[in-house]
Structure 1
Amino acid sequence: MEWKKCYLDLILVPLGVLITTGYHLWLWYSTRTRPHSTIIGINASGRRNWVAAMMKDNDQKNILAVQSLRNTIMCSTLMATTSILLSSGLAALISSTYSVKKPLNETVYGAHGEFIVALKYVTLLTIFLFSFFCHSLSIRFINQVNILINIPQDPMSLVTPEYVNEILEKGFILNTVGNRLFHGALPLVLWIFGPVLVFLCFLIMVAVLYNLDFVVNSGKRKMDVNKNRDYA
């Protein structure tokens, strides 16, 4: 059976995407079942307490709440702007008649046909557009929290700390998804130079994300805290 250049693209790129997708499914499962073993779960618990504290003492902490939410909105706005700018650049590149693949044909492993080159750019364009979509929705939800968190507490009011926290969590989940899509597109940028770099970059990214997402010593620290309480 004759080996074709496109086989590297058909094997390495889907395998890298599958590894990254499997890691994020495992992260989601760990966050749902063992939230205190992940940074995402611990941060969600902290935000829940933060919303309750801000709404309980709103007269003194309303400015702090607005400033904290404003910083989050600025971060999402920056990522949304970056994503839509990259999408616009890729759209202009795809619609251009100039071919950028010719200088790389002799130096890059993998397929170099017009279809595979178009697939590379369309894939990047789609991911950046979805990243922009998630960040724009995140801004919408956090803007709502910016108003609702300053509403005076009323026993008959429908705006409770639990409701505000639910909206805030939706905003942060969309922000996290948008960031992960953006980060996942970065290895695919290297697909322009061949599938080998894509696969290696996905492996490195998963290793880096694991060290950033999981709290390795959380269980040990929890046992130490329980022992100190018993001794006390």
Structure 2
Amino acid sequence: MEWKKCYLDVMLVPLGLLLYIGYHVWLRHKVCTQPFTTIIGINANSRRFWVPIMMKDIEKKNIVAVQSLRNLVMGSNLMATTSILLSAGLAAVVSSTYSVKKPLDDTVYGANHSELMVSLKYVTLLTIFLFSFFCHSQSIRFINLVCILVCTPQDDKSMFTAEYLTELLEKGFIMNTLGNRVFYSALPLLLWIFGPLLVFLCFLAMLPVLYNLDFVCGTGKPEMEMNGNGEYSV
């Protein structure tokens, strides 16, 4: 019976992860080829206009710009703090001499609570939370740079342009999105403690939820594609 439980872990958990990763590969393809059908593409296009507008009249809009960027930093800071706290908690559980698997034995069909499998579960979660923390910390770094540079007066000797700040802001948002999606992948894996079947079902349930959050339907806008100059055309 033990080997059958191990096979369930080997098959169902990687299959759920592959479905989750495959959805994001497809989402990336849609963002690159049909950006205005996705929330990510629409927001990225809007940010390309936001930075030049803020820099054009920064004397009057500096408070709006800094407060907007500060709100982004606070969101990333919250996720980074949550990730590192969960990582610390999991590290304490892994290093503890107390056997956490005993109260869970035979609670759900298919759950494998051998010492090796329990260690693998916690180490996987620990790695995911640490990577999420890294992404959010990099997002804070990029957005803080934009917050400082956007209020710098423009003159002929300026070493940066609106395009440079837009690129920094876009990197900050990309790292924030990546950190969030990695963090979301840890939620189904938390159920791995109770069995691989719950992990697979949770990944399946997440896909339609993420689709409704990522895609825009019936906007009434013409479809636009990117040309060779990096601009969008109908």
TM category (shorter chain) comes to: over 0.9
C-alpha distance in structure 2 between counterparts of 1:45 and 1:106, whole Å: 51
Q: What is the aligned-residue RMSD (CA, Å)?
A: 1.4
1:125-169 superposed Cα distances (whole Å, 9 cap, x missing partner): 000000000000110110000011112222442311100000000
C-alpha distance in structure 1 between counterparts of 2:79 and 2:222, whole Å: 39
1:12 aligns with 2:44: no
**Matched ranges for 1:82-231 at <5 A:** 82-108=82-108, 109-218=110-219, 221-223=220-222
Q: What does residue 228 of structure 1 align with? A: none
Name which of structure 1's ranges 105-114 and 141-150 shifts more when overlaid on structure 2: 105-114
1:85-120 superposed Cα distances (whole Å, 9 cap, x missing partner): 000000000000111111221222232211010000
Q: What does residue 226 of structure 2 align with? A: none
Tell me: CA distance 1:171–1:223, structure 2 relative to 1, closer, same or farther (3 Å): closer
C-alpha distance in structure 1 between counterparts of 2:98 and 2:140, whole Å: 37
Gaps of 5+ in 2: 224-234
Contact 1:90 1:125 in 2 (8 A): yes
C-alpha distance in structure 2 between counterparts of 1:15 and 1:25, whole Å: 15
2:221 alignment partner, SS class: helix
- TM-score of the pair, normalised by structure 1: 0.92
> How many residues matched?
221
Gaps of 5+ in 1: 225-232
1:29 aligns with 2:38: no
C-alpha distance in structure 2 between counterparts of 1:178 and 1:96, whole Å: 28
Letter in 2 for 1:112: H
1:40 aligns with 2:31: no
Q: What does residue 228 of structure 2 align with? A: none
Letter in 2 for 1:34: Q
Letter in 1 for 2:221: K
Contact 1:7 1:110 in 2 (8 A): no
Letter in 2 for 1:151: T
Tell me: CA distance 1:105–1:137, structure 2 relative to 1, closer, same or farther (3 Å): same
Letter in 2 for 1:173: I
Spell out structure 1 runs of 4+ moving beyond 4 A. Answer: none
Q: What does residue 80 of structure 2 align with? A: 80
Structure 1 residue 77 displacement after superposition? 0.5
Which structure has the highest helix share of the two? Answer: 1
1:130 alignment partner, SS class: helix
1:112 alignment partner, SS class: coil
Structure 1 residue 41 displacement after superposition? 0.6
- TM-score of the pair, normalised by structure 2: 0.91
